[in-house]
Chains A and B, each alone.
Chain A
Amino acid sequence: MPSAAVLQMEIERSLAARFPAALSPAPQTLGEAAATGVTAVDTLLQGGLPVGAVSELIGAESSGRTSLALAFVASRTAEGRVCAWVDTNDAFDPESAAGSGVDLNQLLWVRCRSTPCSQSSRDVPQAERRRSQSLPWTLLDQALRATDLLLHAGGFAAVVLDLATTAQEHGNRIPAATWWRFRQAAGSTHCSLVVLGRSAYAQSSAAIVLECVARQARASGGTILSSLQYDVTLKRDRSACISPRPIPARRPAASTWTTQPGWTQRTRRA
């Protein structure tokens, strides 16, 4: 009675012309990572956010998701790469981005609009148009379509899909097939897709899920907001199931990092 290994070898040999290694699992390799620019988070992630994969930054308002995403985009644009920011609720602040170090020349900002543009309004009947205008899904639909186009266009080092203000029930309605499509497109175009949201939407398609929580606010003199401190927890890491890294590192469960308003930095320089 041949063993299972022998049987597997015989089957694979007979199918080798059509399917190489038909019964062997595909080898998994450690993917490339890009530093976020925040040392504590990079230490937590052992390098940074994965390239060619979907990363999610989740949390409530004022939890530091946007600051972390801007720090990541700043580090990518500083390398001469171009990035895109898909702004579902038109909440992106260019001044904050510039203050975080983002080269705005290298950033494509897509601002979804709350009313359908002229092209689509010609084709849809009035009742349908009125109904679609009242739904937030229109914004989300624009954002998803824009993200899909950007991921498939290629050449963008990072695409940020900003769903941070989108209601959780609307984010949960995004089909899993959409996230799967994004994951495949990001992998093929070597692009880091960063999703900001209130909770994790991408499910199994996400390589990294970071939960951000506001920890502490500090003031100087009782009149100036001087810093906000955040906790970052790694909720999901798909690469954790792969074989250990060549140099094992002790990974912290969570990290803490701090942001400061622009006026305190200017004061320090002066």
Chain B
Amino acid sequence: MNFELYACVHAAELPAQALLRLRPELRAQPVVVLEGPAAQQAVCALNQRARQRGAVPGMARLDVESLPEMKLLWRSVQAETVARSILLECVSQFSPRIDDALGDACWDEGRQAGQATACAFVLDIQGTERLFGAPEQLAQRLRSCLSAAGFHVSIAVSANFHTARLVAAHRGGIRVIATGQEAAMLAGLPLTALGRDADLAEILAHWGIRNLGELAALPEAELVTRFGAKARAWSALAQGRAAHLFRPIQPALRLEEFCAFETPVAQMDSLLFTAARMIDCLAQRAESRALALATITARMRLEDGSWHQRAIRPALPSLDRRFLLKLVQMELGAHPPQAAVTSLLLQAEPGQSRQMQLGLFAPQMPEPSRLDITLARLKSIVGEDRVGSPVLEDTHRADSFHMLGFVADRAGAGQRPQNGSVQAPGAPERQSHRLSLRRMRPPRPVNVLLHADRPVAFHDRKQSFKITAAYGPWNSSGCWWSAATWESGPEPHGSAAWNSVEWDVLATSPDGAPCACLLSHHPQSNVWHLEAFYD
């Protein structure tokens, strides 16, 4: 009883499929893919419509250009690598045991020029009937899955590894080969299916042998006598009984999408149109593994040869295509590339989508995805570094803080140590309230009139204030023990030393309105500043 069952997925014309996968609007047109140096460019892959128009692999560029309505594309190895990994990822949903059919030694020996541009994987599908049904149903589902990913493939199912591989490579559509029918199915295949051994093909042609069926009919012993030990393998292949040591590969999850543009793209809308399709594919692939997208990095190759890279990190891993596209749009809108884009590579890192049980009486919090978009929009309005939560520095220097990204952590609210807060949540109401400052950024230089070393009036560029009461002086200095330079002004300046004398003053403006403010004097520069108003 045979316990083996294999399904081979063969994607022909991979260079063309890799380029057309993200541009379905080109699939209805005759498309050829060229490769080689500028003077010797030739067709390496083409689609069915181009073949109908008379294009063939190896045709020179000049000949192709003479064909009507032919769309010329250039081969992208990176796009093929990405397409191959996507194809592998798709088939891995149907079986954990996958062998790379083109990596097989026997296959490498006989790889033809046309087949070098193909991609094939053989799946061990024994025991998957309860999951995916009969082999016919599995093949149908496999092809539907790959078609959704943008691939046009042929599939063959057989109990023999090499039979499945050869039939998938030379017969289109879905072929399910019953056990014992391998030789009959292989009989019609040309001898070139075995490889590109020119001597063999020529000798067999002289003998009148033109397909595998006729080769299989030859006595094996006579073949071995004339061609050596490798003839035994040819005969076994032709008869559909060649043995194979299955070597499963472990597909690593690489969430990447690549698209090379025919002409540099300068319009952001055009770039996002392509990015939307790529994000859709990334989300679909992550979703198939019950994952979400934690980060998306967009790497753009620019027309001048440089790279432009931006990354988005949603607060929570997400599969919402529109939300992710909006974040990419906001990020690229805030940091647009400085030249037209020639290729776009999207790399995503997977993350676990979080589920959270909301409390009926829990305080309302911003929805994470909506908050991400709001923050991105706010940053586009006021600037990247102007939105967030302030964090106080551990220093006595005035107005020392830095900004951190705002995170509305529902779980951590009320549990984290409070940043700078004096009063803990739930504490009894404070009886005295803190006097607050309104800072001037940058501090406003003022002219101060002194009497007995105490300020009695000050004047800024607009109006004069009469000081009714002055409290001070309060000396403040720091970092003089380690810094080499002194601050030239009142603004915080890294680790430079500072020295200032502060006065709290009550003043009256010319229109009689009282105010309380904070004045500072910098002895090094002998400059007075209006630092803040008490309010």
Contacts and interface: CB of A to CB of B under 8 A. Distances in A.
A182 interface: no
A153 B76 CA distance: 43
Interface stretch (A87-95, A173-181, A244-252): A87-95
Interface in B333-372: 333-336, 362-367, 370-371
B441 interface: yes
Interface residues of A, number: 76
Contacts of B335: 118
A62 B535 contact: yes
B217 interface: no
A139 B399 CA distance: 22
A105 B420 CA distance: 9
Interface in A147-169: 149-150, 153-157, 164-165
A111 B387 contact: yes
B364 A157 contact: yes
B419 A104 contact: yes
Contact of A66 (B381, B504, B535): B535
Contacts of B391: 104
Contact of A106 (B388, B413, B424): B413
Contacts of B434: 67, 70, 96, 99-101, 259-262, 265
Interface stretch (B1-9, B248-256, B292-300, B511-519): B511-519
Contact of A62 (B336, B422, B426, B533): B533
Contacts of B403: 109
Given A60-B513, A93-B439, A217-B506, A98 B414 contact: no
Contact of B382 (A71, A113, A155): A113
B440 interface: yes
A82 B533 CA distance: 26
B518 to A, nearest CB: 10
Contacts of B435: 67, 96, 227-228, 259-262
B247 interface: no
Contacts of B532: 93
A118 B441 CA distance: 21
Contacts of B414: 80
A94 B420 contact: yes
A234 to B, nearest CB: 19
A223 interface: yes
Given A93-B532, A225-B516, A113 B471 contact: no
Contacts of A5: none
B433 A109 contact: no
Contact of B365 (A39, A82, A112): A82
A219 interface: yes
A82 B294 CA distance: 24
Contacts of B377: 149
Nearest to A150: B374
B401 interface: yes
B423 interface: yes
- Most chain A C-beta atoms within 10 Å of own C-beta, residue among B367, B383, B421: B421
B389 interface: yes
B437 interface: yes
A78 B401 CA distance: 21
A219 B364 contact: no
Contacts of B514: 62, 214
B387 A109 contact: yes
A110 B506 CA distance: 30
Contact of B439 (A82, A92, A257): A92
Contact of B535 (A39, A95, A164): A164
B438 interface: yes
A150 B387 CA distance: 12
Contact residue range for chain B?
A: 35 or more
A97 to B, nearest CB: 8
A131 interface: no
Contacts of B427: 78
A158 to B, nearest CB: 11
Nearest to B410: A80
B408 interface: yes
Most chain A C-beta atoms within 10 Å of own C-beta, residue among B378, B408, B506, B533: B378
B493 to A, nearest CB: 18
Contacts of B389: 104-109
B423 A74 contact: yes
A124 to B, nearest CB: 14
B436 to A, nearest CB: 4
B441 A153 contact: no
For the complex of A and B, the 7 pairs showing the least CB-CB separation, nearest first, are A98-B420, A155-B366, A94-B390, A101-B423, A96-B436, A66-B535, A80-B413
Given A104-B419, A259-B434, A260-B435, A82 B382 contact: no
Interface string A15-46: 00000000000000000000001110000000
A225 B471 contact: yes
Interface in A47-83: 60-67, 70-71, 74, 77-82
Contacts of A135: none
A183 interface: no
Nearest to A143: B382
B515 A62 contact: yes
Given A67-B433, A217-B506, A110 B387 contact: yes
B433 A38 contact: yes
Interface string B490-509: 00000000000000101000
A146 B383 CA distance: 12
B382 A78 contact: no
Interface in A101-145: 101-113, 117-119, 122, 142, 145
B309 interface: no
A113 B436 contact: no
B516 A62 contact: yes
Contacts of B386: 110-113
